[in-house]
Amino acid sequence: MTMRANISFVTLGVADLPRARSFYEALGLTLHPRSNESIAFFDMSGQVFALYARDALAEDALMHNTPAGFGGVTLAHNVESADAVQPLIDAAVAAGGTQLRPASEPPWGGLRGYFADPDGHPWEVAWNPGVTIDDDGRAHLPS
């Protein structure tokens, strides 16, 4: 058995599910009808983004629910132009998130910045001139 090269679901453990759901809806994501009071689903162009109570998610994975902090993972959202990076970070802040890093040029080119959602999950917003974004919003690396 081999693993296919795709990610089906990304699930974030959150402290307050209604607050987290409202945050992501304020950023323009549409709540999927299969969502309920225990879990929120968002269709992300072929992948599913989910929000679930942090303590329940830790229990489900048989892990200890340690205090929040940098967990060694960031989520990324690539945009079609450099002009779109800071406005998306600003929208996240207006919806209840926190700016971690304003839009700036990394050493490898392009433009990136970071925000954290209300539970501290870090998101990178990036424009990379070497990455193509298709009509469905999927990022493609050059060959």
Kindly report, residue by residue over 94-129, the tens digit of the pLDDT: 999 999 999 999 988 999 999 999 999 999 999 999
Query: Above 90 in pLDDT, residue 70?
Result: no
Per-residue pLDDT band at 6 (split at 50, 70, 90): confident
CA distances from 90 to 24, 80, 113, 142 (A): 14, 17, 10, 29
Contact status, residue 128 vs residue 110, Cβ threshold 8 Å = yes
Task: Give residue for tokens 């919806």.
Answer: 95
pLDDT over 90 (residue 68): no
In tens, the pLDDT along 128-141 reads 998 888 888 888 88
Structural domains in the chain, sorted by start: 1-62 (3.10.180.10), 73-137 (3.10.180.10)
Residues 112 and 106 sit within 8 Å (Cβ to Cβ):
yes
Residue 2 has pLDDT above 80, yes or no: no
pTM to 2 decimal places = 0.87
The better pLDDT of the pair 72, 60 is held by 60
